[in-house]
């Protein structure tokens, strides 16, 4: 197995895809596997989740630790922004102060965090490291975060999607009602041309409907009269 140039001087190289650590000619099978999104895109002012998951051959104990670090673009300087061991300890200094939140669950292999109120200055590389003794050999995945302003095109697409979800059902109902009215009108015209006469049942149904409508109208008039009489009595 060929070593990478950066690791050749130290006699070790890391191969996370193979789950194998090569150290001084010895193959060590990784007992702890960590996965994270390679690229995450977010928008200014909107909370961003940095996902990190892990699998360990040992049960989770209070010795398990999680560390998130951040490295700005074009810089070799890294800073710790989150630490976990039985409890979450977000950073209390630096640009991420009071903006890092724990959203993971160690018992489900979730070591994710979130960033509140992200800005353009948050662009950079984030690393997630997990140790669960005796499982300490693992890969360290990195996530490249890109924060941008939400453009007019993105806002317009969101509004368009909302409009479709709101107005499409209404449009379908209107079309169905128009089709039903058109079919009913066509049926009446066809009957009138063919000299169709209503049966006694249809006539009685129409009469009942007219009487029902008349009763409703009378009831409305009576209610209005009652309201008027009550209004006059108050004076």
The 10s digit of each residue's pLDDT in 105-136 is 999 999 999 999 999 999 999 999 999 999 88
pLDDT for position 157: 55
pTM: 0.55
pLDDT for position 189: 66
Tokens of 75: 């810089």
CA distance linking residue 192 with residue 158, whole number of Å: 51
- Check: CB of residue 124 under 8 Å from CB of residue 48: no
Class of residue 110 by CB neighbours under 10 A (exposed 0-12, middle 13-18, buried 19+)? middle
pLDDT over 90 (residue 19): no
Model pLDDT for residues 53-67, shown as the tens digit of each residue: 999 999 999 999 999
Model pLDDT for residues 70-108, shown as the tens digit of each residue: 999 988 899 999 999 999 999 999 999 999 999 999 999
Pairing relationship of beta strands 65-71 and 79-84 according to DSSP bridges = antiparallel
């Amino acid at each position: 197995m060929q070593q990478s140039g950066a690791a050749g001087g130290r006699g070790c190289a890391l191969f996370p895809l193979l789950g194998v650590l090569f150290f001084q000619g010895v193959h060590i099978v990784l007992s702890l596997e960590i996965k994270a999104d390679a690229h995450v895109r977010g928008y200014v002012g909107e909370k961003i989740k940095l996902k990190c998951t892990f699998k360990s051959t040992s049960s989770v104990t209070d010795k398990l630790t999680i560390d998130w670090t951040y490295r700005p673009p074009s810089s070799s300087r890294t800073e710790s922004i989150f630490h976990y061991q039985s409890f979450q300890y977000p950073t209390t200094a630096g640009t991420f102060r009071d903006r890092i939140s724990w959203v993971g669950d160690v018992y489900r292999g979730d070591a994710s965090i979130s960033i509140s109120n992200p800005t353009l200055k948050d662009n950079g590389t984030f690393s997630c490291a997990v140790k669960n003794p005796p499982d300490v050999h693992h890969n360290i995945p990195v996530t490249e975060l890109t924060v941008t302003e939400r453009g007019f095109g993105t806002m317009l697409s969101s509004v368009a999607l909302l409009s479709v979800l709101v107005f499409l059902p209404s449009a379908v109902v209107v079309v169905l009602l128009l089709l039903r009215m058109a079919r009913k009108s066509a049926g009446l015209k066809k009957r009138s041309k063919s000299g169709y006469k209503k049966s006694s049942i249809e006539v009685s149904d129409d009469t009942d409907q007219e009487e029902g409508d008349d009763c409703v109208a009378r009831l409305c008039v009576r209610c209005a009269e009652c309201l008027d009489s009550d209004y006059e009595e108050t004076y």
